[in-house]
């Protein structure tokens, strides 16, 4: 293998996902000589096999379902014929969006003067990394002052059902050749449910198996109830409190329930969505002997690891494994390397499930506030009393606010309902800006919008809701 000339840079970023590419762009903007190494595609999990393609598939599935509903006789007076689906075209359309976005990231990196190396990075020491291209065209050594780990995470497989063939990871489920007739989804976390619901809308028979007794087990029960109802209404079959034992082509997925009864669920494809693990192996990270926190790299409030000059951001640093956290950390690290005084200490990191209905959590739930010793009030406003929700034929769900009793400082927002993901901006801002219930209650919210439920929740917490 031919060796290429060594490169020396101030910042070397390993991983071109939302954490790594944002860090590199911001560093470039700040005039920091930066090299970014990416083994696969710019944009990482998020743009290529995560957030964006899953939301594209969810949108296509929703459109298909609407067309089917219109064909079945719409109360809106829309008359349409029975639709058909060209899934290959759906996947091409989704891939087109991914290509536009990943191409855009490449252009932004170029504009910021970042040098992008395509290849696999292996750490030699805290200041030296070797990059090997997939083409075997020679290794390149990069020496740096600051090393940023942004290697992301990977799907966890079940030992009894390794990925391949009929056993899908989320990546496979985002690019189907044909639609299966029967899909079993293992895991009712947000990835399993988002994809399971989309497949159901595309006309697939979907069964979900979950070890916990509830869907979306990490969310509070009141919030997930509308999702449970919608799953049942849509015909998704749920096996909660059940563990998966294995799979065979003849019988399908072998399952054991809480009473230790065993049964099989026939399936053409099985989507295993039981979680993701930080990517910490296979690139020499062990040689640095960094402090770990369980499976992920331990970081402090500056995103510094236990070794001077080595930083880490995004999924490799653990929960919440979300793209917007990775991006915010990336920006924070770049600015610190440029000498700015920054810390990564957000008041809240929003979490959104793009299920049907959508679920949003920003800040503390009532139970979390209680557990933190806060004396809080909480109030919810239902979409059944919101005019805009009625015009969207979507009156299920609610907006809930949590605020301190003594000074009405807002500490949390939760919502479940159609389109509530778009309310996260208002939720996040009110918490970061230290808003009180009165601030939101006295802000004029446009009518008719779902956002009026935000104002009404604040009014209700103050004991003076108008529209309920």
Ligand X SMILES: Cc1cc2nc3c(=O)[nH]c(=O)nc-3n(C[C@H](O)[C@H](O)[C@H](O)COP(=O)(O)OP(=O)(O)OC[C@H]3O[C@@H](n4cnc5c(N)ncnc54)[C@H](O)[C@@H]3O)c2cc1C
> What is the binding site for ligand X (CB under 6 A)?
14-20, 37-40, 44-46, 50-51, 54, 120-121, 150-153, 170, 191, 279, 283, 314-315, 321-324, 326, 354
Rounded Cα distance between 198 and 180, Å, is: 13
Give the H/E segment covering residue 334. helix 323-337
- Report residue 361 as tokens: 């959590």
Annotation-wise, does 191 bind a ligand? Answer: yes
Q: Report the nearest approach of ligand X to the CB of residue 381 (Å).
A: 25
Which one, 214 or 276, has the nearer CB to ligand X?
Answer: 276
Which one, 381 or 413, has the nearer CB to ligand X?
Answer: 413
Q: Which of 370, 345, 354, 371 is nearest to 418 (CA)?
A: 354
Annotation-wise, does 262 bind a ligand? Answer: no
Can you state the percent helix, strand and coil of the chain, rounding each to 5? Answer: 35, 25, 40
Which one, 150 or 361, has the nearer CB to ligand X?
Answer: 150
Rounded Cα distance between 360 and 351, Å, is: 6
Annotation-wise, does 153 bind a ligand? Answer: yes
Q: Report the nearest approach of ligand X to the CB of residue 35 (Å).
A: 11
Annotation-wise, does 188 bind a ligand? Answer: yes
Rounded Cα distance between 159 and 406, Å, is: 51
Q: Report the nearest approach of ligand X to the CB of residue 170 (Å).
A: 4
Q: Which of 56, 61, 7 is nearest to 35 (CA)?
A: 7
- Residue 354 and residue 417 in contact, taking contact as beta carbons nearer than 8 Å: no
Whether 447 is catalytic is yes
CA distances from 34 to 146, 377, 381 (A): 10, 48, 48
Considering 59, 66, 447, 467, which one is annotated as catalytic? 447
Which one, 29 or 170, has the nearer CB to ligand X?
Answer: 170
Annotation-wise, does 104 bind a ligand? Answer: no
- Residue 89 and residue 96 in contact, taking contact as beta carbons nearer than 8 Å: no
Annotation-wise, does 340 bind a ligand? Answer: no
Q: Report the nearest approach of ligand X to the CB of residue 362 (Å).
A: 13
- Residue 365 and residue 374 in contact, taking contact as beta carbons nearer than 8 Å: no
> Cβ neighbours of residue 51 under 8 Å, at least 6 residues apart?
323
Rounded Cα distance between 349 and 363, Å, is: 7
Annotation-wise, does 55 bind a ligand? Answer: yes
- Residue 344 and residue 302 in contact, taking contact as beta carbons nearer than 8 Å: yes
Q: Report the nearest approach of ligand X to the CB of residue 115 (Å).
A: 14
Categorise residue 153: left if φ over 0, alpha if ψ from -120 to 50, beta otherwise.
Answer: beta
Which one, 29 or 151, has the nearer CB to ligand X?
Answer: 151
Which one, 39 or 450, has the nearer CB to ligand X?
Answer: 39
Q: Report the nearest approach of ligand X to the CB of residue 21 (Å).
A: 8
Return binding residues for FAD: 55, 151-153, 315, 321-324
Active site residues: 447
> Which residue numbers belong to the known binding site?
55, 151-153, 187-194, 210, 275, 315, 321-324
């Amino acid at each position: 293998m031919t060796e290429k000339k060594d490169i020396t840079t101030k910042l070397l970023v390993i991983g071109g996902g939302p954490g790594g590419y944002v860090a590199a762009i911001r560093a470039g903007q700040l005039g920091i000589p930066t090299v970014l190494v990416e083994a696969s595609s710019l944009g990482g999990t998020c743009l290529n096999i995560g957030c964006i393609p899953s939301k594209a598939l969810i949108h296509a599935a929703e459109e298909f379902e609407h067309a089917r509903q219109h064909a079945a006789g719409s109360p809106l007076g829309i008359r349409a014929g029975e639709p058909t689906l060209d899934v290959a075209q759906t996947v091409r359309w989704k891939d087109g969006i991914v290509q536009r976005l990943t191409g855009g990231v490449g252009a932004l990196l170029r504009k910021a003067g970042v040098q992008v190396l395509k290849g696999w990075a292996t750490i030699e020491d805290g200041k030296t990394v070797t990059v090997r291209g997939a083409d075997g065209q020679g290794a390149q050594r990069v020496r740096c002052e600051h090393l940023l780990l942004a290697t992301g995470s990977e799907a966890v497989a079940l030992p009894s059902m390794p990925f391949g063939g009929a056993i899908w990871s989320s990546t496979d489920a985002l690019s189907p050749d044909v639609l299966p007739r029967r899909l079993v989804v293992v895991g009712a976390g947000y990835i399993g449910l988002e994809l399971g619901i989309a497949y159901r809308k595309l006309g697939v028979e979907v069964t979900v198996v979950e070890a916990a007794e509830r869907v979306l087990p990490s969310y509070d029960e009141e919030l997930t109830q509308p999702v449970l109802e919608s799953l049942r209404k849509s015909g998704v079959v749920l096996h909660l409190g059940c563990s998966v034992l294995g799979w065979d082509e003849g019988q399908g997925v072998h399952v054991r329930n809480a009473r230790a009864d065993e049964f099989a669920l026939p399936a053409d494809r099985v989507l295993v969505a039981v979680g993701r693990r930080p990517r910490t192996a296979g690139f020499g990270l062990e040689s640095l002997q960094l402090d770990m926190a369980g499976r992920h790299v331990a970081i402090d409030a500056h995103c510094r690891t236990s070794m001077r000059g080595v930083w880490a951001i995004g999924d490799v640093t653990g929960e919440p494994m979300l793209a917007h956290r990775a991006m915010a950390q990336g920006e924070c690290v770049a600015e610190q390397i440029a000498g700015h005084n920054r810390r990564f200490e957000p008041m809240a990191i929003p979490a959104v499930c793009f299920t049907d209905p959508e679920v949003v959590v920003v800040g503390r739930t009532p139970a979390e506030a209680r557990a933190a010793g806060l004396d809080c009030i909480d109030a919810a406003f239902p979409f059944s009393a919101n005019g805009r929700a009625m015009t969207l034929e979507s009156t299920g769900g609610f907006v809930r606010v949590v605020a301190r009793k003594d000074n009405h400082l807002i500490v949390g927002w939760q919502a479940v309902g159609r389109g509530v993901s778009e309310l996260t901006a208002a939720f996040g801002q009110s918490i970061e800006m230290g808003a009180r219930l009165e601030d939101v209650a006295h802000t004029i919210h446009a009518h008719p919008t779902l956002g009026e439920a935000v104002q009404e929740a604040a009014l209700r917490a103050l004991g003076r809701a108008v529209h309920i």
